[in-house]
Copies of this chain bind each other. A is one copy, B any other.
Amino acid sequence: VLGPGDDCAILKTRGANLLFTVDSLVEGVHFALGWMRGRDLGARALTVNLSDIAAMGGRPTACVVNLALRDGIETRVVDQIYAGLEDAAATADVDIVGGNINRARELSITIAMLGELRGTAMRRDSARIGDQIFVTGTLGDAALGWRLLAGKLQAPKGKSRTHLIDRYVRPAARLAAAQNLVSLRPMPAAIDISDGLLQDLEHILERSKVGAEIDALAVPVSSAYRSIVGEDLSYALGGGEDYELLFCARPRYSESEFGRRLGLPVRQIGRIVRGRGLKVTGAAKIAGWDQLRSGELKP
């Protein structure tokens, strides 16, 4: 029904549509082992896939796990990774139905996940001119958390630092909120923010063949974010790994109405317009625009 180019592939079977996705976390690329406990690492690997299923409005059902282990990884750490996988799977009511372990020169966790879809999916190609663009939660926290862990950014110990690192280490997949969105008519276009707000929005614009205007000052950031980088919105616009939802809906519900429906803070950040391309307005400070465009601000 739908192949590469969206968060998940849609497979038609007799009676049910399945979602099927794969993602991988690689040591030295996406994380260092010293940054988080094995349990968090396992849970995070699974959550990244849950988020892809969520973004299309599916219910995750089953996954298989490929664990590549390098020399020097203790059995204790492997057990912790599995415990984290099982924690996250149990919370999301997903079965880990198979797996494979192999040796490698670096630790990696690759997960393929299936999801069930009642009816049709929220896709990237269905944004329409006049749609309002919304995001859930706050953006940029995970990118800052990652930079703090990687030593690319300094901040004093305290609640802000802890909050940002926690957002990177223990992201949430917005499954319940996405289930609510998929029941709206007309159905919104949606994506999870894994690559960064601007890049993920551009995925929607390309596939929907429309343009967008974003008010940078409307992009939601946390007080922890502001306490570390002030008004610089680079990380909120370009940092990935937040796993919040971005969706484009007909003007019908206000921010607060969506907030109540989804059980999460929801902010309108712009709208879909005729033409192509993405215009960012608002007298926002974007210190790292060049790095933002080159992807340097994210893991």
Contact = CB atoms under 8 A, between A and B. Distances in A.
B97 A29 contact: no
A24 interface: yes
B3 A95 contact: yes
A98 B3 contact: yes
A105 B106 contact: yes
Contacts of A210: none
A2 B66 CA distance: 18
Given A11-B114, A15-B13, A22-B64, A104 B106 contact: yes
Contacts of A262: none
A82 to B, nearest CB: 11
A22 to B, nearest CB: 4
A13 to B, nearest CB: 5
A172 to B, nearest CB: 21
A23 B104 contact: no
Contact of A97 (B3, B95, B99, B116): B3
Contacts of A8: 98
Given A14-B15, A112-B112, A24 B102 contact: yes
A103 interface: yes
Contacts of A2: 97
Nearest to A5: B98
Contacts of A15: 13-16
Given A22-B99, A110-B24, A62 B104 contact: no
A95 B13 CA distance: 14
Interface of A: 2-4, 8-9, 11, 13-16, 18, 20-24, 26, 28-30, 61-62, 64-66, 68, 95-100, 102-106, 108, 110, 112, 114, 116
28 contacts: A3-B95, A3-B97, A4-B97, A4-B99, A8-B98, A9-B62, A9-B64, A13-B13, A13-B14, A14-B14, A14-B16, A20-B64, A20-B97, A22-B64, A22-B99, A22-B110, A22-B112, A23-B66, A24-B102, A24-B110, A26-B68, A26-B102, A28-B104, A28-B105, A29-B103, A29-B104, A66-B66, A66-B112
Question: Which 5 A/B pairs are nearest by Cβ-Cβ distance?
Answer: A112-B112, A14-B15, A9-B97, A22-B64, A9-B98
